[in-house]
Amino acid sequence: MISIKPYLNFPGDTEAAFKFYRSVFGGDFKALQRFADLPGGDRIAEADQQKIMHVSLPVGDTVLMATDSLASMGQALTAGNNFTLAVFTESEKDADRIFTALAQGGEISMAMNKAFWGAYVGMLTDKFSIQWMISYDPGK
């Protein structure tokens, strides 16, 4: 079954925001990864290495996810680009189909490819300026 989950972008305060959300909704983080943990993370600006690369918090029937959008990586935030809708598919074929359809008239920021964590993932902004991340993870 295809699912859609909100993916929030913060300008460096993801950890504080998610500690707050955890205090509101309860539960435990399903994942918490820092930029220093990435392959080549030592090449990221030292001030950004302990920022959050990915965090997820189960909330009811969905999962709230987020990242720190680092200015040092050219990711300046403005109102409207501080969230992404993450679509999780059941196959690479579904991921490709959805990605291709959403990309019509939009802008691809990362073509579908195998990510270092094992998922097949791509990112784009559709023709209505909505950001999407399409992902198939055979390990889940």
| 37 vs 55: CA distance, rounded Å | 13
pLDDT tens sequence across 79-111: 667 888 999 999 999 999 999 999 999 999 999
pLDDT average, residue stretch 43-64: 92
Instruction: Check: CB of residue 78 under 8 Å from CB of residue 125.
Output: no
CATH number for the domain spanning 51: value is 3.10.180.10
Model pLDDT, residue 115:
92
Model pLDDT, residue 127:
87
Give the Cα-Cα-Cα angle 52, 109, 103 (nearest 5 degrees): 125
Instruction: Check: CB of residue 70 under 8 Å from CB of residue 35.
Output: yes
Total domains present in the chain: 1
Domain containing residue 7: 3-136
Model pLDDT, residue 70:
82
| 90 vs 136: CA distance, rounded Å | 6
pLDDT tens sequence across 58-79: 998 899 999 998 877 776 777 6
| 66 vs 101: CA distance, rounded Å | 25
